[in-house]
Amino acid sequence: MTTFSSGDAAFEGFRLTRENPRVVLAWSIFHFVVSSIGAVVLIAFGGDAMTQLAEQPEAAPDEMTALLRQMAPAYLILAPLGLATMSAIAAAVYRLQLRPQEGGFGHLRFGADEIRLVLLTLIYYVLAVIGLVGLILLAGVIAGVVAAVAPDAQAPAAWATLLFCGGLIIYALVRLSLAPVLTFQERRLVVFGSWSLTRGHFWRLLGAYVLAGLTIAVVTLLTTVIFAAVLGIISVTMGRGLEGVGAVFQPDFSSISAYVTVETFIYLVVTAVLNAIYYPVILSPQVVAYRAFRTPEPAPPYEGGAGI
């Protein structure tokens, strides 16, 4: 077992991207293609509704419901696409660090490893819903008891319950956070194995995740500011004024020709690069923790997309 440093784990993703520029380029292209597909889906299946929503931000509830219903087909396509994308890029980050011999375009593929990560995510979605329902019921019981016993203490009790439930959620998320990397490396669904592996390491893991999140947030903020400034210069030079900058953050989904502009193209490129950096920064601490808390046995031989 090696020593786990929250700081080293938090910056592992930046080291990974710095040492693997070709892989980052592949991930950027991947994100750009996925974002472009997502935009086409929105335009084809929900463009008119999104345009009406943008034009009528204060629409009546029944009109809003009707517009959202029109957009449902687009999101029925985008939801599984997003899930598959996240699983593919997560597996690529893990593969680069744990099985670098499995090459390919940016270590990207969609086989048994990715399917297991999709299934794990769905399982956690179900568990999250069950857990939230349980916490809501618990909060309701506590509120009822406090209201009956000490009505004047309802407000403090509500805040205490909120803090307790929030802390419980964070604790569970951190303790279960190594499940994806365990599932990937062991080539089987590992739903609760992370709980025992992270015992006694909560605060160091939380520190790593918070530090990684803060650093990538700073990078994103600085990039966005620089991007907006450069985009403003380009837009003014092209005679579009600063309206071109605003259009990037609220694009026209009425048609592909209306959506595709120089500004939106640059925006897609920048966000693709940011996503290519974001995922390794957020996911790499899991790999560092896995290596530190558990001496990994040799991974099973590669089976070329064996079943789940």
Instruction: Please report, rounded to a whole number, the percentage of residues in the chain having pLDDT higher than 70.
Output: 88
The count of residues in the chain is 308
Q: Side chain identity at 229, as an amino acid letter?
A: A
CA–CA gap between residue 179 and residue 192 (Å, rounded): 7
CA–CA gap between residue 242 and residue 139 (Å, rounded): 48
Q: Is the dihedral of CA 32, 38, 41, 47 positive or negative?
A: negative
- Global pTM value: 0.83
pLDDT tens-place string over residues 40-86: 988 888 777 777 776 666 666 777 777 778 888 888 899 999 999 99
CA–CA gap between residue 156 and residue 57 (Å, rounded): 36
pLDDT tens-place string over residues 229-288: 887 777 777 666 666 666 666 777 777 887 887 778 888 999 999 999 999 999 999 999
Residues 6 or more apart whose CB falls under 8 angstroms from that of 175 comprise 194, 195, 198, 199, 202
Using pLDDT thresholds of 50, 70 and 90, give the confidence band for residue 300: low
Q: If DSSP codes are grouped into helix, strand and coil, which group holds residue 281?
A: helix
